[in-house]
């Protein structure tokens, strides 16, 4: 039988092991609680406001969330959905090499592809620069093969007399921007102008060799047209040719003797390309068109987007 001292020793050992067991359980429980708290804190940290993600945002005092690009005072380009301004560039990447003379046999025309000139990107960049700071901007892609131009040769006399051009423009743009929701839409397209007092017309971007009896006269031109639409009903708000001289209408400018209704400059005779296809690789022609296009857009767009009337022109395609 165990003696009293053995009983006391066993009793003491049992108490020690019991205490150790309780302490061990408390340590394990505390470790589990600590792990859960760290996990919850990490999840909260990963979604907390102000964290920079693919679409960083900044909170203003009025609780309106804007993008960081807007906070810098520049228009913020958006990928899709709703926006303040949707921009559609429909000018295309074409350059016309045209020769005219006293007889119809002297007339020659060739259209050259110029995708390397970057005119569409330039037009969008200048349009975005003219839009007030803080406004969201959406660049809307345009596929000319999907939206062919209207064939006026098939119109009847009734069609020509009773056409509703504004309704046609609204329906056309509604199809082009389908799937977007912007407060306003800006379309940049080619403009058309008569040449001098002749029956010839020039369109978009190109170079003209006017071969006359006393010699040749060479003109480089960059003709763009701007339309601003209301995004709610696609009604036409404002429109104008992109002009460098914005102080006089095209009618007044033609009366003053300008040869082309829009930006153009006269060049030396040797500037005209020997072969039309050589125009695409001519840096002087490219830079001349880009300079005139930039200046005309920078002067005309602020007038159309502001409160001052711009010179108007209805010749656009």
pLDDT digits (tens, 9 = 90+) for 60-103: 334 433 333 444 445 555 555 689 999 999 999 999 999 987 77
Q: pLDDT tier at 215 (50, 70, 90 boundaries)?
A: confident
The DSSP 8-state label assigned to residue 197 in this structure reads T
Q: How is residue 149 written in tokens?
A: 């131009």
Contacts of 37 (CB under 8 A, 6+ apart): none
Structural domain contains residue 213: yes
Q: At 87, give phi and psi (nearest 5°).
A: -115, 125
Residue 205 placed within a domain: yes
CB atoms within 10 A of CB 209: 20
Q: Is the pLDDT confidence value at 195 over 60?
A: yes
Q: Does residue 8 lie in a domain region? A: no
Among left, alpha and beta (phi > 0; psi -120 to 50; other), residue 217 is beta
N residues, the chain = 317
Q: Please count the structural domains in the chain.
A: 1
- pLDDT cut 70: percent of the chain above it: 65
pLDDT of residue 192: 94
pTM tops 0.85, yes or no: no
Q: Reply yes or no on whether the pLDDT at 52 is more than 50.
A: no
Report how far residue 58's alpha carbon sits from residue 52's, in angstroms, rounded to the nearest whole number: 10
> Tens digit of pLDDT for each residue in 224-283?
999 999 999 999 999 999 998 877 676 776 676 688 989 999 999 999 999 999 999 999
What is the rounded average pLDDT of the residues 156-169?
A: 79
Q: Determine the Cα–Cα distance for residues 313 and 295; give it in Å rounded to an integer.
A: 18
Q: What is the DSSP letter of 86?
A: E
Nearest in space to 239 (alpha carbons), one of 167, 314, 180: 314
Is 244 within a domain?
yes
Per-residue pLDDT at 114 exceeds 90? yes
pLDDT, tens digit, 9 for 90 and up, residues 282-291: 999 999 999 9
Distances (CA, A) of 25 to 17, 29, 34: 12, 6, 14
End-to-end CA distance of the chain: 117
Q: Tell me if 72 is assigned to some domain.
A: no
Whether 53 maps to a domain, the answer reads no
pLDDT at 225: 97
Question: Which one, of 108, 121, 115, 91, lies nearest residue 223 by Cα?
Answer: 91
User: 139 is in which domain, residue-wise?
Assistant: 81-145+154-305
Report if residue 279 sits inside a domain: yes
The tokens describing 87, both together, are: 């921009």
Burial class of residue 47 (count of CB atoms within 10 Å of its CB; 0-12, 13-18, 19+): exposed
> Has residue 119 got a pLDDT over 90?
yes
Q: Which two tokens stand for residue 33?
A: 């609680």
| pLDDT exceeds 50 at position 48 | no
Q: In this structure, is residue 314 part of a structural domain?
A: no
17 token code pair: 């092991």
């Amino acid at each position: 039988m165990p003696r009293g001292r053995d009983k006391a020793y066993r009793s003491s050992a049992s108490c020690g092991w019991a205490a150790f067991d309780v302490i061990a359980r408390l340590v394990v429980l505390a470790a589990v609680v600590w792990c859960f708290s760290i996990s919850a804190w990490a999840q909260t940290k990963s979604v907390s406001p102000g964290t920079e993600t693919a679409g960083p945002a900044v909170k203003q005092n009025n609780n309106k969330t804007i993008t960081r690009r807007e906070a810098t005072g520049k228009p913020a380009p958006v990928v899709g959905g709703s926006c303040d301004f949707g921009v559609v560039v429909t000018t295309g990447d074409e350059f016309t090499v045209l020769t005219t003379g006293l007889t119809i046999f002297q007339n020659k025309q060739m259209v050259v592809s110029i995708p390397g000139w970057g005119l569409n990107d330039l037009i969008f960049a200048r349009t975005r620069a003219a839009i007030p700071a803080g406004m969201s901007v959406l660049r809307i892609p345009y596929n000319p093969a999907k939206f062919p131009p209207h064939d006026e040769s098939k119109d009847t006399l009734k069609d020509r007399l009773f056409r509703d051009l504004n309704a046609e423009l609204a329906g056309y743009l509604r199809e082009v921007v389908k799937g977007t929701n912007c407060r306003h839409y800006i379309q940049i397209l080619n403009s058309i102008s008569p040449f001098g007092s002749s029956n010839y017309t020039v369109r978009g971007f190109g170079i003209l060799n006017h071969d006359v009896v006393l010699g040749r006269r060479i003109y480089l031109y960059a003709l763009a047209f701007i339309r601003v639409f209301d995004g709610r009903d696609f009604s036409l708000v404002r429109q104008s040719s992109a002009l460098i001289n914005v102080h006089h209408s095209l009618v007044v400018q033609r009366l003053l003797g300008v040869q082309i209704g829009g930006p153009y400059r006269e060049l030396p005779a040797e500037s005209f390309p020997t072969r039309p296809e050589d125009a695409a690789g001519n840096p002087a022609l490219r830079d001349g068109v880009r300079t005139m296009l930039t200046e005309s857009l920078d002067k005309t767009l602020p007038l159309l987007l502001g409160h001052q009337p711009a010179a108007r022109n209805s010749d656009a395609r």
